[in-house]
Amino acid sequence: MRPRTRLLTAVLFGDAVALLVQIPASTEDEEGAWYLRWDALAESGEHFAQGLRERLGGRGLRLHLDFGLSSWVPMFSGEKYLALGAAGGPSSFVEWRHLVGHLYALVASYRPDRALQLELAPFAANGAGQVGLFLLQSPSPQMWRFLPQSIQEAWLRFPKFRAHVLLHDDVSGWDVPLWRRHLGKAFGALGGFHWCGTVNRNPELNPRLAERRQNDNYFNKVFTMLDVAKHQGYRWVVKLDDDIFLPPFSLMSLVRSGPLGDYLGCGAVLPLTQNGIPSAEIFARAWLQEEDREALFRCFAGSSGQFCLPGSLMTCCWKAQPELGIPEVPVPDPWDEISWYGEVAARFDLKWHKNHPVSGNLSCMLLALSLSLKGIDAKWLLPFHDKANIIVDGEFSYPYFANNIFLMQTERYVRVLQHPSCCSGTDERAMNRLLHEERVPLCFNQETFGVHPAWGNFGQTLKNAIEADTVEALRRFMPEAFFAVSDEPEEVERFNRMLDLCAAAEDFHGAERVLQRLVKESTPNSLSFALVVCASAEARDLARAEHWLRRFYAELGPESWQHPKVAQSLQAAGARSLADAAASFGAGGASAAPLGARRRFEALLEGNSDREEIERVFHEALQEWEHSSTARKHLYQEYLAFLVRGKEKEQVQSRLQEMAALGFPPDAISFGVLINAVAEKGKDVAYARDLFRQAEESGVKPTLPLLNSMLKVCARAADVESAKAWFQKIHSASLKPNILSFNHLLAACATSSMSEAQEILKTMRANGLEPDGFSYGSLVKAAARGEEAELWLRKAGEAGVQADAGMYVAAMRAYFQQPKEVKRLFEEMRDRVPPTEQAWLALAYAHATEGEVERAEDAVFAVRKTWGDRAELGTCLLFAYAKKTMGQRSRKAEVEFRRLAKHSAPSAQALRYLRQAMGDKAAGALLRELGLAEAE
């Protein structure tokens, strides 16, 4: 007979108050109830449930509770305990994998004051970030299952966001093992799970609304989201419905667009989705081929101006009734969304501004969906962009946005919930009203692509059917590994964990032995083979990796080659051609749909291509966006920034005149873009001042973002006096400096006087602004000595500011003459944030300085593996080889120098290290052979 009581010792952590939870339970074959006792602060629910499973066995437990709360449950509760008694009636059987969700759901239901602390505790080691990504998950939709893979790839490149899953009704969504398995090395991106299927846990945000909507699942999630965001210090939140598909590049671009959005004055930053309101047309011009785009716009133009026609299932619509003052909206032909929104706004109240053919015409909605799925597999593989590309609706041409996915400042979202008009339906209408009142524009992130299958205007049944069909289509197009599932046999999961360890250890022999055992005992899945490929690639045995790829194909078919771990490991091993071939072969040789003129134009600007080609594609893009003055203005702004960076001042003036002639004269945003481009390129404060003067002469009133741009130029130029003068101009213009204003002033002053910089910190706090990572980063970078830089690094932590990679790199550089300190800081950094390219390079130089050649090679290899090759890496290795003379080091120096000279002209420093490593005679002969003798 199993013991009837399970008691875990209570453990107190510092000042945190423990909570002992007692729950009536029994095993499958027992009749009477006994009590589980869970010390919820000392042990995570997952660990507690796993311990019970190992001790009790079986399929699960019976909990003697009424989960529907339809009958009375005896409860005793105090500061340190929650004791639930057995409810009358039958018990509920709970599988082991669902027990964790039930544990936290009970705490949220009966002790909402302790729920957040306990939900966050298991993920505390993952740290906080700047952005909170909140998935509002419901029981039925399945689109979200592609999200973990996107989060994994995005977070490994931009680890400043944390994902939170908000649940109601179905505890099976509380599946930590699923997320752990699919996030892999990016598990640090997960911020927590939160149960919202009970009464409102956080009514303080808006007590009146919370009282009226106590059991509203949507508002319970939104209130919880903002409570988490404030607790974790997220500056921005991304709210994501569970029926959105976002590829990795798209997700990363969205979560990192907060600072630029703030700089541009955005009220909300929206990604592009095929039926987004109001982004459908922007999506079509950015992502659809010309004939597809024209077909979609013809569908829009052929729609009715009234959406309540006989037989319609729409519930959010209007029907023209002139006798009641309800007019029909004229539909523009050819289609022009600005005209459409203008007509709707002129005739109807705000709640009707959402209406659009992409949501009100079923044929158009389905057409937009089918067109967006063309080449969807290629969209997943699109590269990541370092810079966001944001269109600002400065003219307020779009009167309304549907908020199924967006990024917004946390404090602004709080103001939405506290708005007097919030909320008769969802918070969407109040959100749009607030943006109108605060006169902040909508912004659209051009570097995004998303699919939202359907709106619910034709009934939930049809919406669910379209979503299910879309998920099946995506699963056919995409490798199955991209779809997060938790129903793999436990035996396969166990072997895959062993294979993952072999891959991490570069042990392909061990991986092959584990796979042989798996074949005997069960059936390998795509992940099993992918991990064997990874092990071979990590060990740099590319012939063996190719062998397993072919085996992979034979066992699972061509689509298996596109498993994400395969592509990542091959790219990391430098086998780019093999990785590209695998991706192409897995996709059946299909190529991506041709990019629109706009995206080709942006690619040409990034590549600094031939000017005639840039000019030709620029005019193509203008034609492509002929119906959107906002987009055309943004094209000009991009081109102007490119010209400013190239110091082509005459061309800049010519383009500014063209803009004015086309009816959208340069405004404060346009001149801000130009001045920012000056800051990016160099230190030309005089040119930036000329542009600002031109803006004033054009009638543009100084705005805070525009003046902040001038401060940014001064900071980059370390021009302290000019920075002070421009900061004073903010006050002269009757504006209030924000955190960016102080940070730019701080960055300028820190270069000449640390005492003055510290006074600026005090002034910031006196103005109600808390210094952030940029503030402390400027002080770390300006520190003359390593000890001083590290002191500011520690002060940032004491102030609750998480040190980022840039701060650590600056501190390591300050210690450049103390390699042991550099290595110590690098190890500390690895425990907190992923090392960057510059961090690895600083480590490589530290090892080289101490003569640790092999370790320097390892660090350089880590950079090449992740970020590719560049000249500074070769120079670093030559420096390492210079510490060891002749012999093998001489040969390595020759190989590295040949590699360096093949791609770029060696620097004088590289030449000096070459001579030290090889000797003057051998180095001179090599230089003459390569035709570089004159470069000595």
Per-residue pLDDT of 295-314, as tens digits, reads 999 999 988 887 765 555 45
Are the beta carbons of 529 and 483 closer than 8 angstroms? no
Query: 266: cis peptide before it, omega within 30°?
Result: no
Are the beta carbons of 480 and 564 closer than 8 angstroms? no
pTM: 0.66
Residue environment code for 601-616, b if the CB has 16+ CB neighbours within 10 A, otherwise e? bbebbeeeeeeeebee
Question: Which candidate, 598, 599, 583, places its Cα nearest to that of 381?
Answer: 583
| Stretch 369-373: mean pLDDT | 94
pLDDT band at 816 (very low <50, low <70, confident <90, very high): confident
Q: What is the pLDDT of residue 888?
A: 57
pLDDT band at 417 (very low <50, low <70, confident <90, very high): very high
Residue 907: half-sphere exposure toward Cβ, Cα within 13 Å: 12
Q: What is the pLDDT of residue 781?
A: 86
| Cα–Cα dist 239/236, whole Å | 10
Token pair belonging to 528: 């099993």
Are the beta carbons of 596 and 624 closer than 8 angstroms? yes
Q: Residue ranges of the alpha helices (H) in 159-206?
A: 176-183
| Stretch 880-902: mean pLDDT | 78
| Cα–Cα dist 808/792, whole Å | 11
Give the relative orientation of helices 819-830 and 837-849 as an angle to the nearest 10 degrees.
150
pLDDT above 90 coverage of the chain, percent:
24
Question: Which candidate, 107, 84, 108, places its Cα nearest to that of 23?
Answer: 84
pLDDT band at 866 (very low <50, low <70, confident <90, very high): low
| Maximum average pLDDT range among 21-35, 360-374, 460-474, 776-790 | 360-374
Angle at 175 between CA 272 and CA 484, to 5 degrees: 50
Listed range (191-195, 230-234, 497-501) with the worst mean pLDDT? 497-501
What Rg value do the Cα atoms of the chain yield, rounded? 30
Are the beta carbons of 115 and 195 closer than 8 angstroms? yes
Are the beta carbons of 62 and 28 closer than 8 angstroms? yes
- Asked whether residue 935 carries a pLDDT value surpassing 50, the answer given is no
Q: What is the pLDDT of residue 817?
A: 87
Q: What is the pLDDT of residue 192?
A: 94
Q: What is the pLDDT of residue 639?
A: 87
- Asked whether residue 627 carries a pLDDT value surpassing 90, the answer given is no
pLDDT band at 9 (very low <50, low <70, confident <90, very high): very low
Amino acid at 59: R
Q: What is the pLDDT of residue 324?
A: 61
Mean pLDDT of the chain: 82
| Stretch 28-50: mean pLDDT | 85
Could you give phi then psi for residue 237, rounded to 5 degrees? -120, 145
Paired with 450 in beta bridges are 273
* Parallel, antiparallel or unpaired: strands 405-409 and 236-241: antiparallel
pLDDT band at 806 (very low <50, low <70, confident <90, very high): confident
Q: What is the pLDDT of residue 367?
A: 95
- Max distance between CA atoms of the chain, in angstroms, equals 99
User: CB under 8 Å to 551, separation ≥6 — which residues?
Assistant: 529
pLDDT band at 240 (very low <50, low <70, confident <90, very high): very high
Token pair belonging to 457: 């205007």
| pLDDT digit string, tens, across residues 132-147 | 999 999 877 788 989 9
Signed CA dihedral, 765, 770, 776, 777: sign only = negative
